[in-house]
Amino acid sequence: MKLIEISKRILTNCMALKAGESFLVVADDVKRELGEALWEAGRQLGAESVFLVMQEREKSGQEPPALVADAMKRADVVVCVTEHSLTHTKARKEAAANGTRLATMPGITEDMFLEGAIAADYSQVKVLTEKVTELLSAASTVRIEKDGKSLQFSIANRPGVPSTGMYVNPGESGNLPSGEAYIAPVEGSAEGQILVDGSISGIGKVDSPLLLTVQNGRITKAEGTTGERLLQILGEQDGRMLGEFGIGTNDKARITGVVLEDEKVYGTIHVAFGSNNTFGGTIVAGVHIDLVVKEPDVYLDDRLIMKKGQLLDLA
């Protein structure tokens, strides 16, 4: 019952779901129970609620079945509660372009429904997220520094994207729980090294730091206990290209080992490798893997905007 009540609050506050609207929940076998709670919440709110369960995808960024993708385009509101992310898929992009209000909840757990990032004041999250997004959109270069390692890349003429947790207008979409501003780096521009010490999507919390070396925008070396596994997930092709840079803006989010919440933690940044064609880039890789870094220094156009994870004056 508590899951249903929280689901009703999410659908009302974050999705603006109204009686009579068409509401679709997309789940997989793993997340069926949470999907049912959302479907029941929508039904109780008076929406025309539909529940589709598909087979679990193999990895984040993999497309859902065509039947599901078509249904997503036809609904007023869609929530995708799945083990692997549908955020960076053609299906999500096309549904939003068609006017669907859409939230993705990849890897969400019952604990995350009840605690942590979902409990944030999303009006405050929205304000901070939009400020950071403006900074990203206006900048040309990013430099991330931590423990003597430095990674830099271009974001020139790329639009920042706000994931505010509030998707109340036609075509708005993003994660729930949310709180991040992100951008697609210019392909091939990244050079340097980055130390990952938070978590990795599909793998979980990082027990010992993972050192990534990036040349011409592509991972050339992954040193650490999870390095080989990460490279296997990314594959040999464009999955190894840097596709995203993001900054967490949710002060209630915790590092749990589930990247959906981890990448939203205030005080962290994340990079992702693989597809970015759904938010301003050109990489189509069929995979998108996020890696979270705790308390780095971040420079935009050589201006320090984050020191040891703390955002500085953003005026």
pLDDT in tens, the chain (315 residues): 889 999 998 999 899 999 999 999 999 999 999 999 999 999 999 999 999 999 999 888 899 999 999 999 999 999 999 999 898 899 999 999 999 999 999 988 888 888 888 888 888 999 999 999 999 999 999 999 999 999 999 999 999 999 998 999 999 998 888 999 999 999 999 999 999 999 999 899 999 999 999 999 999 999 999 999 999 999 999 999 999 999 999 999 999 998 889 999 999 999 999 999 989 999 999 999 999 999 999 999 999 999 999 999 776
Provide the residue ranges of all domains of the chain, joining segments of one domain with +. 2-114, 119-311
Q: Is the peptide bond before 177 cis (omega within 30 degrees of 0)?
A: yes
Distance, in Å, from the CA atom of 308 to the CA atom of 260, rounded to the nearest integer, reads 22
SS3 assignment, position 124: helix
CA dist 130 and 185 (Å) reads 18
Task: Count Cβ atoms below 10 Å from residue 192 Cβ, excluding itself.
Answer: 16
Indicate the pTM of the whole model. Answer: 0.83
Query: Which residue, among 205, 293, 282, has the nearest Cα to 243 in the 3D structure?
Result: 282
Nearest partner of 11 among 102, 114, 106, judged by Cα = 102
Contact (Cβ atoms closer than 8 angstroms) between residue 8 and residue 37: no
**CA-angle at 18, arms to 49 and 52, nearest 5°:** 20
CATH number of 2-114: 3.40.1830.10
Query: Across the beta sheet with 173-175, what order do the strands follow?
Result: 48-54, 22-28, 77-81, 101-104, 173-175
Q: Measured in Å, how far apart are the chain's first and last C-alpha atoms?
A: 44
> 88 with 278: CB under 8 angstroms?
yes
